[in-house]
Amino acid sequence: MPRLDTLLWLVHAAATLYMVGVIAVVQVVHYPLFARVGPAAFPTYAVAHARRITWVVGGPMLVELATAVWLAFGPLPPGVPAWMAWAGLGAVVALWVSTFFLQVPQHEVLQGGFDPRAHRRLVSSNWLRTVLWGGRGVWVLYLLARAMGREC
């Protein structure tokens, strides 16, 4: 039976890698297509999007945050320096800050109707999350390999 700390490392990696995939699809496909919905249908679409996307990302983001906190404050396996766990937690915090202070306000504007300026801000500001989660994906695989005793 796997140890609890091993399971937590794997859960953390899974949540992060899941979010890497989600953010890639959102950035490259989903957000750009907002402009194609049409003005009459857009308010209803935007409200439905906000409700549905929360079900897709809410749990994994919370799991990623909780396990990043655990990694930063918990015992680390040999070969994993503390600064790496703290850097990972810092990136997760930056993702949450970006989400709630950059993207959520644009979604709120868009729920009132399609606004080209809010849409541009949403797409452009979301590159920050795309890059951060992409970097976290690489980071978490590297960290997991170190935790497993593999040199990278």
How many residues in the chain?
152
- Checking if the pLDDT of 151 tops 60, the result is no
Q: Name the residue with tokens 């996307």.
A: 53
Contact 38, 113 (CB under 8 A): no
What totals of helices (H) and strands (E) does the chain contain, helices first? 6, 0
Neighbours of 23 (CB within 10 A): 23
5 vs 110, residue with greater confidence = 110
Domain ranges of the chain: 4-147
**Per-residue model confidence as pLDDT tens digits over 90-121:** 999 999 999 999 999 999 999 999 999 999 99
Tell me: the pLDDT tens digits for 11-62? 999 999 999 999 999 999 999 999 999 999 999 999 999 999 999 999 999 9
